[in-house]
Amino acid sequence: MGCVCVSPNANNKKNRPLPTNPSEITSLMNKPKKIVNQEENVKNLNPNCIIENHQNTTILKAINQINGDEIRISNNKSCIIIIMDASSSVTIKDCKKCSIFIGPCSSSITIRNCESLNLISISKQLKLINIKESNLFIFSMNSPIIESCHDIKFGMFCVQFVELSEMLKNSKINIWENHWSQFQIMGNEENISFADNNTKKDVIDMFSAGFNNNCYVNFDQYQFVPYTFGRSVQLKNYYNVLLIFKSEDALEDEIIKFLNPEDLKENECKCISTKIMKNKSDEFNQICQMINKAENGNIYNFLTKRDLNRKKTNLGFENKDFDMLSNNEKNSYINNLEKGDLLFIWLGCDSDDLSNLNDYLSGVFEEGYYALITNKDLKLEDNDFLETLIKLYSME
C-alpha cells in the first residue's frame, strides 16, 4: 500500500516553514509592528460618551444621549457627572473630587486611579483599581473586585427614577441578584468599610443640585430596585427568616414596595439579600432538601391556595379543594407547579416573634402568595440555618 505526501501550500502563511537564514530572521525582527491607534478609537466613539478634562462643572447626559454605547470618563476634577442613560461599559480614570452617577450598565464599570470620588452606580460588574478616600453606593450583579484600594466606604444603590425599570430590563440586569456587599479583595486593602447614614446623606446632598436642576429622581424611595443590607449588618445578631414567592413579574412591584427599608424597620426586620433560584439548579435542589424537612412536607404546598383555582380546570380537578384531592391528583398538581422558579428573600428580624411581620405580610399579599420559613419550622439550630443561608446566598 502506497502513501500520498501532500506538500504545504506555499500561499498559506500558517504552513510556511520557520526561517533559518540569519538575514531572514533579522528582517522579520525589524519588521514594523501594527500599532493600534487609541486616539482613533476615541474618535470613533459617540461624542456624548467622552467626558474628559473638565473642572468645577456639572455635566448631565440625558436619556437617549448615550443609547447603550461605551462611556469613557477621565481626567476630571471637582465635577458632578450624571449619566441618566443606559450604557454598554464604563471606564473612569484619573478623576479627583468628583461625584459621578452611572445609570444601568449592561456589563462592567472599571474605575482606576481616582481619589475622593462619590459614586452611585448600577451594573453587572464593578472593578476598582487604586481608588482612595471614596464613597461608593452601588448595585452589582457580581461581586465587586477591589485591588489596591484604601479608605473606601460602600453602600447600597440609592437613586430611583421613572425610566429606571425599563432600562434595567433592556440591560438584562436582574434586580434580585445584588452582590454589592460581597467584595472580592485582591491584595492588601486598607479600611474597606460600610457607609453610615451620615455619609450617605453627605453624598446625596452632593448630587442633589445636579439632579434637581435637570431631572426628577427619588432618594431612598425604593420603587424599582429592592433595598438589601447584605454584609453591612452582623448576621448573627438577627433571627433569620426565608420568605418565598413564585417568580412572576406580576408580583414584582408589590414585593419591592413590601421590602422598603423604612416599612420593614417598623416591623423590626431588614432585608439581608434576595435571590431567584432557577428550577432544578444545584442551589434550588439544596434549599428544597432543607425546606422539605419542615412539617408542611413540600416546598410547593404554599402555592396551592393561590394557584389551585387557576390550574385545577386544566388538571381535571373542577370544584375540588386541594385537601379533597387524592394523592395522585396532589402529586400531579405539585409536579405542574415545580416547573417554575422561586424568589427567596432573606430577612433578618430583631426577635423570633414574627407576629408583626405576619400582620404586615397579610396586609400586602393574599394568603397563599408566599411562604415564611424559619429554623423553628425546619427544626434546625440557629447557626445551622444561618450557615445554610450564607452558603446559598454566596455570602461567605
Name, of 106-115, 186-195, 339-348, the range with top average pLDDT: 106-115
Residues 297-302 have a mean pLDDT of: 52
Q: Looking at 185-194, 295-304, 342-351, which range is the least confident one?
A: 295-304
Task: Quote the CA–CA distance of 142 and 119 in Å, as a whole number.
Answer: 17
Which of 58-67, 102-111, 310-319 comes out lowest in average pLDDT? 310-319
- What is the tens place of the pLDDT at every residue in 235-260? 989 999 988 887 776 788 889 989 99
Confidence grade of residue 218 (pLDDT, cut at 50, 70, 90):
confident
Query: Which cell goes with 129?
Result: 483599581
Q: Where are the domains of the chain?
A: 46-218, 226-300+338-392
163-176 residue pLDDT tens: 899 999 999 999 99
Q: Which CATH class is domain 46-218?
A: mainly beta
How is residue 13 written as a grid cell?
502563511
Interatomic CA distance for residues 289 and 165, integer angstroms: 34
Listed as own residue / partner, the contacts of 44-53 with beta carbons closer than 8 Å and 24 or more positions apart are 45/69, 45/70, 45/72, 49/87, 51/76, 51/81, 52/76
Cell numbers for 65 = 444621549
Question: What's the confidence (pLDDT) of residue 298?
Answer: 53
The pLDDT assigned to 374 comes to 84
Q: Do domains 46-218 and 226-300+338-392 have the same CATH topology?
A: no
Mean pLDDT for the chain? 81
pLDDT of residue 94: 98
CA-CA distance, 117 to 130, in Å (whole number)? 12
pLDDT score at 140: 97
Question: Once rounded to an integer, what is the mean pLDDT over residues 91-115?
Answer: 97
- Return the ∠ at Cα 318 (arms to 312 and 323), rounded to 5°: 75
Provide the pLDDT confidence category of residue 40 given band limits of 50, 70 and 90.
Answer: very low
Rounded Cα distance, 164 and 120, in Å = 14
Q: Which three cell numbers stand for residue 103?
A: 445609570
Considering the domain delimited by 226-300+338-392, tell me its CATH architecture.
2-Layer Sandwich (3.30)
**Is the pLDDT reported for residue 34 higher than 50?**
no
Whether 193 has a pLDDT exceeding 80, the answer reads: yes
Sequence-distant (6+) residues with CB within 8 A of 95 are 73, 74, 75, 76, 77, 79, 114, 115, 117
Per residue in 112-157, pLDDT (tens digit) is 999 999 999 999 999 999 999 999 999 999 999 999 999 999 999 9
Q: Is the pLDDT of residue 285 over 50?
A: yes
Cα three-residue angle 155-233-248, rounded to 5 degrees: 75
